[in-house]
Amino acid sequence: MRNTRTRTLIAAASLPVLALTACGGGGSTGAEGGGADECETFTIVQYENPEGPQGQGWQKALEIFKEKHPDVEVDYQTTSFDAMRQNAKITLAGNEVPDVVEFNKGNADGGQLAAQGLLDPLTEQVEEFGWDEKVTGSMAAFAQYNESGLAGSGDWYGIPNVGEYVGFYYNKEMFAEAGITEIPTTLEEFEQAMDNLLAAGHTPISSSAATSQGFNQMWVWYSLVSAAADRDQIDDFMFVRDEVDFGSGPWREGTERFEDWIQAGYVGDQLGGLSFEQATVNFLSGNAAMLIWNNGEFNRIKDEASFDWGFFTLPGANLTMGSSGHLWGVPAKADCKDLSYDWIDITLSEEVQNVIGELGGLPLAGDTSTITDPVTREFTERFDEIVAADTLSFYPDYPVAGFLDFIQNHMQAMSNGNETADEYLAELQQFYDDGTAAVRGN
């Protein structure tokens, strides 16, 4: 799920993915691809908000690309995250495909595209261009997929440019009214702070649980699971490495705590019909003291908040929810593959990465020290710390096809009081086991 999980998901400037085409002028087709000197038109498909950090970074990349290839016409197409995710297989299996595409990471999306031969492996290019020196550790985990489409090993099929991490944006004025003078350092202190906010008449966390784009409750739940988990427990779940017992350990502890938070009123009520956009608006409107989200709303809050605000990650957590960003990939049927490699390399250049970094986009190959705004620099430094410590727990919907819809349906049920932690964990066990049985060889 995503980045992306940002306003890009509902960008008005979107094109139906089914209509996307590439027109390689004179280039060879199919698996061989075309050289840079054979292509008259180079087609890029992406879904970032043109006003966001990555969208502006891509504009800089376009300038550089066009200067390097003045005789190539660039067809730069913007679609939506949902459209690309839902129609990627149809698009990439067609006779006319884009030359380079942005796609969603994870076993359920990127892994399936790789396993079905719709994307070209990029391992050779990674070594040639040195991309593995810029994309390392947990940031590379979802760039690689094995023959079964499982992330974490095998060939490289995608290249991320940025990272993401989830935390709490908070209204400093509401915290002060509730007598909270310091950021909590443990979960127990955090819960006491939320009790203080409730006593002062404030909803602690602005959340959402609609089954379509009501992501906030899922992020609250998985953040609490991550808080109690260690690296091996998350990697076993995420990369289908070992059996997962959802009835014990961090899964039970985090889910029961999530149920307690719902019952305590920490996340508000009547969330079943709310989307992540409405949760953000409620926070910006002063209807809640905090908003759980990733860096996707950083610039928006910075620009639109009428109150003094700050940001912190979940206090006392072992791991923090987040991952690399979406991936650039090269379709197996692309005409202009040499140009595609050049495009990806340009997006990882320091010139482009620093544009993204200046806007709070958390670049993977930028220079954080060059960021001029102190708030943005501090926000990016926190991300750099988490990456260096290898404490990102990724997003929960990655391992199994259909997981996002499944989790969101159950988040709504729990939020409405129609399902208990025990009932959800039992359903979660069944869905995960069924979904991973094939790749486990069962």
Per-residue pLDDT at 439: 67
Is residue 2's pLDDT more than 60?
Answer: no
By percentage, how much of the chain surpasses pLDDT 70? 90
Is residue 440's pLDDT more than 90?
Answer: no
Query: What is the rounded average pLDDT of the residues 286-290?
Result: 98
* Alpha carbon distance 150, 241 (integer Å): 10
Question: What rounded mean pLDDT belongs to the chain?
Answer: 91
Check residues 4 and 373 and name the one with the higher pLDDT. Answer: 373
Judge contact between 196 and 362, C-beta under 8 A: no
pLDDT in tens, 177-210: 999 999 999 999 999 999 999 999 999 999 999 9
Spacing of C-alpha 191 from chain mean position: 27
* Alpha carbon distance 290, 173 (integer Å): 11
Choose among 375, 382, 356, 215: nearest CA to 301.
375
Judge contact between 16 and 83, C-beta under 8 A: yes
Per-residue pLDDT band at 81 (split at 50, 70, 90): confident
Choose among 59, 77, 60: nearest CA to 13.
77
Choose among 43, 42, 45: nearest CA to 78.
45
In the chain the domains, ranked by start, together with CATH numbers, are: 7-161+326-370 (3.40.190.10), 167-319 (3.40.190.10)
Per-residue pLDDT at 346: 98
Choose among 264, 129, 272, 159: nearest CA to 211.
272
